């Protein structure tokens, strides 16, 4: 049976599909409306020997505009087809190339299964300084083992702004098997030093294809 009204103590509102119950603007009662901070699914891309995974605003139901203040890309079980390949990301600020100018910082932490090695360090080979190159998100990912994969996320803030730079932060963790099995965790923070809107984001390996895995885009307000 469908509900016509929800009533509990002082709550007395008519339910509306896909809406939240919240305080009204006078803070003296309740109403239905959009929930602040809600996360909304936008698009999921699945790799299958893919050279790139691209999210383009206005294409294939992808939204990368002022609809949301923040966008999150969830990276799950990415497996490179080539040994020692790194997952990278590029941003497009109009045109056809993913070459928005970026400045960033990157560091990693690692620990071997045997407990024979561990550490934290800044990665000078993966930071950028006013560069149009793709941003590396991870340390070397070995594909020698079929169970080796990478997971993580990328946050992109206010990509449609034509006033401010576009900040991004990322975390990418993978099963490292190159010389000793273990975990490597990489953290990246940076910004696209452009005032034009970012209208597309592309992921790729620096060598070879993305053999398998998914990247899913969500919007947050």
Question: Do residue 97 and residue 28 come from a single domain?
Answer: no
Q: 4 is in which domain, residue-wise?
A: 1-35
pLDDT of residue 47: 97
What's the pLDDT band for 12 if we cut at 50, 70, 90? low
177-211 confidence digits (pLDDT tens): 766 788 899 999 999 999 999 999 999 999 999 99
pTM of the shown model: 0.83
Domain tally, the chain? 2
Question: Do residue 8 and residue 87 come from a single domain?
Answer: no
* DSSP state at residue 196: S
């Amino acid at each position: 049976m469908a509900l016509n009204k929800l009533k509990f103590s002082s709550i007395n509102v008519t339910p509306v599909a896909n809406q939240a119950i919240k305080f009204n603007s006078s803070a003296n009662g309740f109403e239905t409306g959009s929930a602040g901070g809600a996360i909304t699914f936008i698009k999921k891309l699945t790799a299958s020997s893919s050279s790139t995974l691209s999210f383009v605003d206005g294409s294939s139901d992808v939204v990368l505009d002022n609809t949301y203040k923040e966008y999150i890309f969830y990276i799950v079980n990415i497996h490179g087809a080539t040994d020692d390949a790194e997952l990278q990301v590029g941003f497009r600020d109009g045109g056809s190339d993913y070459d928005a100018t970026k400045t960033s910082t990157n560091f990693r932490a690692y620990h071997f299964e045997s407990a024979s090695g561990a550490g934290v360090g800044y990665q000078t080979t993966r930071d950028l300084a006013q560069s149009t190159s793709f941003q590396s998100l991870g340390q070397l990912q070995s594909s020698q083992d079929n169970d080796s994969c990478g997971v993580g996320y990328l946050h992109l803030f206010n990509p449609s702004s034509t006033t401010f730079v576009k900040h991004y932060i990322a975390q990418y963790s993978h099963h490292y098997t190159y010389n000793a099995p273990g975990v490597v965790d990489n953290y990246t923070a940076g910004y696209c030093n452009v005032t034009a809107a970012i209208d597309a984001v592309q992921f790729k390996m620096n060598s070879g294809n993305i053999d398998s895995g998914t990247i899913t885009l969500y919007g947050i307000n």
